[in-house]
C-alpha cells in the first residue's frame, strides 16, 4: 500500500539578489513510498534531497504538485488538519536538535507535553521509549553529558513519542563515527521491524543505503535519476551518479591507472567479470577456465551483499595460450565479461 505519494513536485526558490535566476531545488518529482519499507534517498550536496524530505511533511510547501499521506493531499489542508497529519510523522536530524536545558527524560517528554498528554501516560511512554533505545540509565543526564550516538538515540526516542507512522531521518548518521553509525542504523531497523514504522532515510553515504534500505532513489539536480531496490542500484547502477556512489563502497572494474599497475605486477591477460546471484557468470567462468586449461590469479575486486543477495566484480590475470583464453571469453555472456586493456 502506498503511504507517501509525491506527484509532479516542483520547489522553486526566488532569486537571492537582483539579476539572479530563481533556483529549482526540486524539478518535477514523482515518487511513491510503500507503507512499512525503509526507503533511502541519496544524493550529493545540492541535489535537493533535504528539500524533498521537508516537502513530505510540508515544512516546505511545494511551488506546484501534490503531497499525499495515506491518500490525503497535504497541500489542500488547513493548518489544523496539517498539524494532525504532522503528529504522525517523526523526524530526526544530523545535529540532534536536543534541548540543552532538558534532561534525556525531558527531551523525550517534550512533544507529549506540547500535545497535551496526561502526566501519567506521558511518564509511561517516556519510560517505554527509554528502554527501547537503551537509555534508561541516562534518563536524568543532560545532552552535554552524552556521546553523539546517545544524543541521536534520544532524538529517535523523541521522534517516536507520539507513535508516528512515518519517521524521516535527515542525514541522521553524518555526524557519527562508523561504529556508532552502525548502532543507530540497527536501531532504525528495529523501529521499522518491531514498530511497523515506515522509515525514509536521507543520506549522502551509500553505506547507509547498503545496510538498511529496501529501495533507494538517487537524486541529482533536483530530480530522481535512478529508482529501484537497493540491490539493483548497487549491482546494476544505470547512471553516472549512481555508479559514483556505488564505487565508494563496492570494488568495481579497475580504472586505467589501476589496470596499468596490475599489468605490471601480474603480466598475462586481465579480464573482469561481473555477476550476481541471479546469473551463472561466475560459475561459467571457472568452468571455462578449467576446460581450457587456463591458469588464473585473482588480482582485484570483491563480492558484496545487499539485502541478503550477493553480487560482485572480479578481475583475474589469465595465463595460457591466447586461443584458449579467447575460448574462455567466448564462453561467457558478453554483458558480464570484458578484457582489461
**pLDDT tens string 79-108:** 888 988 998 999 998 888 899 999 999 999
* Half-sphere exposure for 251 (CA within 13 Å, toward CB): 14
- How many angstroms separate the CA atoms of 12 and 65, rounded? 12
Ranges of each domain in the chain: 2-88+164-247, 256-340
Size of the chain in residues = 341
Per-chain mean pLDDT for the chain: 90
Residue 183: what are its φ and ψ, rounded to 5°? -65, -45
Please give the sequence-ordered ranges of beta strands (E in DSSP) within the chain, or none if there are none.
2-13, 23-34, 38-42, 64-69, 72-73, 89-93, 166-170, 198-203, 215-220, 223-229, 269-276, 295-306, 309-319, 337-340
- How many angstroms separate the CA atoms of 36 and 215, rounded? 12
What is the pTM (predicted TM-score) of this model?
A: 0.86
pLDDT of residue 275: 78
3 state SS of 243: helix
- How many angstroms separate the CA atoms of 39 and 189, rounded? 11
Flag whether pLDDT at 256 surpasses 90. no
- How many angstroms separate the CA atoms of 340 and 268, rounded? 11
* Percentage of residues of the chain with pLDDT beyond 90: 55
Which class is 256-340 in CATH? alpha beta
DSSP-derived secondary structure for 143-195: GGGS-HHHHHHHHHHHHHTT--SEEEEESTTTTS-HHHHHHHHHHHHHHHHHH
Cell of 305: 551483499
pLDDT of residue 25: 92
pLDDT of residue 279: 67
Position 168 confidence tier, pLDDT thresholds 50, 70, 90: very high
Kindly list the distances between the CA atom of residue 104 and the CA atoms of 107, 164, 169, 173, 308, in Å, as whole numbers in the listed order: 5, 20, 19, 19, 36
Per-residue pLDDT reduced to its tens digit, 276-317: 776 677 778 888 889 889 999 888 887 788 877 888 888 888
- How many angstroms separate the CA atoms of 74 and 93, rounded? 22
Range 166-188 average pLDDT: 91
pLDDT of residue 26: 95
pLDDT of residue 306: 83
pLDDT of residue 189: 96
pLDDT of residue 115: 85
Instruction: Please choose, from the candidates 199, 225, 205, the residue with its C-alpha nearest in 3D space to the C-alpha of residue 39.
Output: 199
Pick the CATH number of 2-88+164-247 from 3.30.70.3290, 3.40.50.1980, 3.30.479.30, 3.40.50.300: 3.40.50.300
Per-residue pLDDT reduced to its tens digit, 43-84: 998 899 999 999 999 999 999 999 999 999 999 999 888 988
Flag whether pLDDT at 28 surpasses 80. yes
- How many angstroms separate the CA atoms of 217 and 233, rounded? 9
Q: Which residues contact 110 (CB under 8 A, 6 or more apart)?
A: 99, 102, 158
- How many angstroms separate the CA atoms of 311 and 304, rounded? 6
- How many angstroms separate the CA atoms of 313 and 285, rounded? 12
Instruction: Please choose, from the candidates 230, 243, 241, the residue with its C-alpha nearest in 3D space to the C-alpha of residue 274.
Output: 243
Range 10-32 average pLDDT: 90
Amino acid at each position: 500500500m502506498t503511504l507517501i505519494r509525491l506527484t509532479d513536485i516542483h520547489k522553486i526558490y526566488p532569486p537571492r539578489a537582483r539579476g539572479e535566476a530563481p533556483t529549482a531545488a526540486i524539478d518535477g518529482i514523482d515518487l511513491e513510498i510503500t507503507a512499512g519499507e525503509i526507503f533511502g534517498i541519496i544524493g550529493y550536496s545540492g541535489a535537493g534531497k533535504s528539500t524533498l524530505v521537508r516537502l513530505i511533511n510540508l515544512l516546505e510547501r511545494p511551488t506546484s504538485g501534490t503531497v499525499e499521506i495515506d491518500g490525503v493531499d497535504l497541500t489542500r489542508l488547513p493548518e489544523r488538519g496539517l498539524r494532525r497529519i504532522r503528529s504522525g510523522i517523526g523526524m530526526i536530524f544530523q545535529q540532534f536538535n536536543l534541548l540543552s536545558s532538558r534532561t534525556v527524560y525531558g527531551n523525550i517528554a517534550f512533544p507529549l507535553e506540547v500535545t497535551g498528554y496526561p502526566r501519567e501516560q506521558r511518564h509511561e511512554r517516556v519510560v517505554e521509549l527509554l528502554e527501547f533505545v537503551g537509555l534508561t540509565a541516562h534518563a536524568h543526564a543532560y545532552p552535554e553529558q552524552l556521546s553523539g550516538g546517545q544524543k541521536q538515540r534520544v532524538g529517535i526516542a523523541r521522534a517516536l513519542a507520539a507513535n508516528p507512522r512515518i519517521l524521516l531521518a535527515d542525514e541522521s548518521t553524518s555526524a557519527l563515527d562508523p561504529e556508532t553509525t552502525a548502532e543507530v542504523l540497527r536501531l532504525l531497523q528495529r523501529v521499522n521491524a518491531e514498530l511497523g514504522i515506515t522509515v525514509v532515510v536521507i543520506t549522502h553515504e551509500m553505506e547507509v543505503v547498503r545496510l538498511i534500505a529496501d529501495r533507494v532513489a538517487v537524486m541529482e539536480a533536483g530530480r530522481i535519476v535512478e529508482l529501484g531496490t537497493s540491490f539493483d542500484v548497487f549491482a546494476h547502477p544505470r547512471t553516472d551518479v549512481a555508479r559514483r556512489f556505488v564505487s565508494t563502497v563496492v570494488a568495481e572494474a579497475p580504472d586505467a591507472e589501476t589496470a596499468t599497475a596490475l599489468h605490471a605486477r601480474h603480466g598475462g591477460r586481465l579480464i573482469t567479470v561481473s555477476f550476481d546471484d541471479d546469473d551463472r557468470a561466475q560459475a561459467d567462468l571457472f568452468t571455462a577456465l578449467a576446460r581450457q586449461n587456463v591458469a588464473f590469479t585473482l588480482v582485484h575486486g570483491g563480492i558484496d551483499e545487499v539485502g541478503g543477495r550477493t553480487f560482485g566484480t572480479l578481475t583475474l590475470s589469465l595465463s595460457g595460450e591466447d586461443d584458449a583464453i579467447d575460448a574462455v571469453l567466448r564462453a561467457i555472456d558478453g554483458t558480464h565479461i570484458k578484457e582489461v586493456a
